[in-house]
Structure 1
Amino acid sequence: MTGTAAAAPKLTMRDRHRLLTRDHILTAGLAAFAERGYVAVTVDDIARRAGIGRATFYLHFDGKAAVLRELRNTAMAVWSQQDAPRGGPSGRPSIRAFFEKVVDFYTSAPQLYTALHQARAADPEFAAAHRATMEADVGEWIEVGAMPGATEAQIRLSVAMMYTMVDAFMHLWLIDGWPLDREAAIEAMTDALHATMR
């Protein structure tokens, strides 16, 4: 074995153009959601901002919800299983680190949080996808033993608490503009979730 990695296949000009167009759509979508809100934005708004036609938009996405899902997934792609909170007596530091990362993520991209929140409230399909993500988290926590000795019902409660607290605090900060101390909020969420994950 020589130790050299296999060379990645070169992208064709067409592939690069397709990726660039997709990136323009995502950028346009985020700008449109930030300016007008998820509910008011149409596919035509996003396509116009991206400088493409409606047909080209639909070559890449099946609607504005798909654009928002891709924005969320792309932004969160840097997260790994190691970032997930862990239960048990020594799990508190991992829970705190998780909430720190979540708070920093959403406060650095408030327009993404706002659009996600609006989409869950107004779009049944998007809300169902959000619940599917929560269900996937329950399954993942069971698989990796995030809460040693916990039942599925206990894990489900902890996942629900985690999502609810993040949503409530982010809504207060980013939508209502209610001043909260970052450290105190992270400590409160950590204490509450840690209590359910013991």
Structure 2
Amino acid sequence: MEMNKSENVTRTDRRKARIREQLVAGAMKAFTEVGYMKTTVDDITSRADVGHGTFYHHFKNKQDLLGKLVDELADKVNDYVQPKNMQLSIYERMRYEARGILEYYVNNRSILLALKEAVMVDKQFEGKWLKISESLFKRIEHDIKGSVDKGYCHNINVDVTIRSLTCMFEGYGHYLMTEASGSEEIKAVADSLTDLCYRAIFKTQ
């Protein structure tokens, strides 16, 4: 029996999606094993178990592959740091966001470590890293500026405070993703950082 056009398209799309997933998995494996800079298209296709030419039906080169993955990852930031419960206290919201930021680093470590390496040799990736960083810390910036306006905070330099928190979380996020830390360590670190930040910034009884 002859397949109609829509069935054929669906089957083709499924096959393309499956091969793309294989290529992405192969790339992540290669980036982890030999590093982004040393990875070649052959390294990716051999680990993906697909032909060399097939790669170019999906991506222009390894930079294009990583760039697409980073763009997709940047769209997921809010899934990690946007509280579902908007009735949380400032402290609870900061803790939720702190855990989300660190989970984002660890859960997406393969792509982010490749991105960090790519930034050193390819200027096009600097803007992509900056976009992710700004998106991750936008919620904390919003919380602190809003709290300052309401008089909840000590007399602080807001811009310096936000930049300091950003550097602290980025540094710890990089450490945790390098160590492939588990959920319990992420939780413990996030809680400690939240306590430290909250006591330093907010007026407490």
> Displacement of 1:190 after TM fit?
2.3
**1:45-194 to 2 correspondences below 5 Å:** 45-72=43-70, 80=78, 83-84=81-82, 90-108=89-107, 110-135=109-134, 146=143, 147-148=145-146, 154=158, 158=162, 160-161=163-164, 163-175=166-178, 182-191=186-195
> Displacement of 1:101 after TM fit?
2.9
- Note closer, same or farther for the CA distance 1:167–1:18 as it changes in structure 2 (3 Å cut): same
User: In 2, are the aligned partners of 1:96 and 1:187 still within 8 Å (CA)?
Assistant: yes
> Displacement of 1:17 after TM fit?
1.1
Percent of aligned positions with the same letter in both sequences?
Answer: 23
Long gaps (5+) in structure 2: 1-5, 150-156
Whole-angstrom distance in 2 between the partners of 1:193 and 1:68? 34
Structure of larger gyration radius: 2
| One-letter identity of the residue aligned with 1:56 | T
Is the partner of 1:12 in helix, strand or coil?
helix
User: In 1, are the aligned partners of 2:95 and 2:194 still within 8 Å (CA)?
Assistant: yes
- 1:39 partnered with 2:42: no
Whole-angstrom distance in 2 between the partners of 1:125 and 1:150? 36
Whole-angstrom distance in 2 between the partners of 1:137 and 1:183? 17
Whole-angstrom distance in 1 between the partners of 2:53 and 2:27? 16
> Displacement of 1:30 after TM fit?
0.8
TM-score by length of 1: 0.64
User: In 2, are the aligned partners of 1:39 and 1:118 still within 8 Å (CA)?
Assistant: yes
- Note closer, same or farther for the CA distance 1:186–1:111 as it changes in structure 2 (3 Å cut): same
> Displacement of 1:96 after TM fit?
1.1
| One-letter identity of the residue aligned with 2:131 | A
- Note closer, same or farther for the CA distance 1:172–1:137 as it changes in structure 2 (3 Å cut): closer
> Displacement of 1:135 after TM fit?
4.8
> Displacement of 1:60 after TM fit?
1.8
> Displacement of 1:188 after TM fit?
4.2
- Note closer, same or farther for the CA distance 1:84–1:197 as it changes in structure 2 (3 Å cut): farther
Whole-angstrom distance in 1 between the partners of 2:64 and 2:197? 31
Is the partner of 2:56 in helix, strand or coil?
helix
> Displacement of 1:16 after TM fit?
0.8
Whole-angstrom distance in 2 between the partners of 1:22 and 1:58? 11
TM-score by length of 2: 0.62
Whole-angstrom distance in 1 between the partners of 2:112 and 2:10? 35
Count residues in correspondence. Answer: 182
Long gaps (5+) in structure 1: 1-8
RMSD over aligned Cα atoms: 4.3
Is the partner of 1:80 in helix, strand or coil?
helix
Q: Deviations over 1:140-169 (max 9, x none)?
A: 75xxx6543779x957973x5555333311
